[in-house]
A and B are shown apart, each in its own frame.
Chain A
């Protein structure tokens, strides 16, 4: 008989609230980076995801993701939270109410589609965005979550290590972002360089809120208030710090000066990369993961993106997919049972098989998410049109999609 532990429950509920704050934090991180005429459009999209997916999750999303079913997707036995009560579910978290696990996971389901916004920002029609969010949460997030985290999921059975969502959240959202950017095409006036950023302090505020909320994301994923949660907390902070500095130094060397946007981007890249590894690596692994993720993401956004010419507006692909891939693979290198006896050893601890499992999980997530997202956005584009008209795009999403504007000039 499983009994509820009050300390564990308190920590997981607090962590759920921390992860909830990441979505508005992301809204400011992204909102600062767009042009002034589109800031409400981005904030609105992030807030909309929070509202829509919160409902989708309790109605049927949680059941599709974690209910037992096939290796690819769960069943509907938990739809409407039927049978998801206050008794613990030992498959997932034996010491907290099943509903506490459900609402913690709800916040992951919310932020993942919100991350995708970074790739199609400043040009998606609101109605198309709304439909995209529902379809993507149901047909992409829920199956990928099931495959990696559900007890009967395909990649879970392979032995994939993904502590807090390197594959499920970051690769998934990042590669989906690339698919949407390719289908929608570039923004009007985009010429392989970033558009002017309208409020950098918002972006830094957003990055700081993400860093803060991420302690719930990673340390909360221990699903208990224990040593593992503490270790996840410590490596999360360490990798993020290393990555923020690393990006700034990359800029200093290659662009002449370190920038605030660069350091904030590096910190977010560090958070992304440590996510899958946070329950399995020690601080040495965390520092290497953090230092290198900024190198890979810097190359992705400042060399690869201009070379190929896709308009990944705010670098959801360049930071989340690339950072997530590095984190997932690095987990297969640096994982050690000394940190988590329930985890595994990686390549550097004498178990190369784990690295190959991680490679398989990365490929599975990347291919499934890219193909499904491509199909969804193509269908939306063919039926209702995914993009605003060029005239609306020039005037901005705030005025044309929402009939309001963020800043006044007079008064």
Chain B
């Protein structure tokens, strides 16, 4: 089992969701987060005082999948999120030792789907 974490541009969320549904990946958790990569955010001004390097809004997706779903999930995220410009985001893939469905107490592979 893997936990896939992706940081994407907020305006690509709908496209990513669509690509995930098309790939039959239906279970996702979405957070709004702040961050910046190499583009270092945008300067802001309030009554003339400058605040540099401010953080930009990003969307963080968390998707827990069984091994055979990893590749298609990654492909779907890239398909939906890529614009080719700086700021498109990153995908992190982590090992997931355990997963438990609260309603039934199921554990492991069946609990994810």
Contact = CB atoms under 8 A, between A and B. Distances in A.
A1 interface: no
A403 B45 contact: yes
A190 to B, nearest CB: 12
A404 B11 contact: no
Interface in B23-72: 32, 34, 42-46, 55-57
A384 interface: no
A409 B57 contact: yes
12 contacts: A189-B11, A395-B42, A399-B42, A399-B44, A403-B42, A404-B44, A404-B45, A404-B46, A405-B44, A409-B32, A409-B34, A410-B55
How many residues of A sit at the interface, in one of the four size bands?
10 to 19
B87 to A, nearest CB: 9
A199 B14 CA distance: 20
B85 interface: yes
Contacts of B43: 403
Interface string A266-304: 000000000000000000000000000000000000000
Interface residues of B, number: 14
Given A404-B44, A405-B44, A410-B55, 12 more contacts: A189-B14, A394-B9, A394-B11, A395-B42, A399-B42, A403-B42, A403-B43, A403-B45, A404-B46, A409-B32, A409-B57, A410-B34
Contacts of A391: 85
Nearest to B41: A399
Interface string A381-404: 000000000010011000110011
A408 B85 CA distance: 25
Contacts of B11: 188-189, 394
A369 B110 CA distance: 64
A403 B44 contact: yes
Contacts of B85: 391
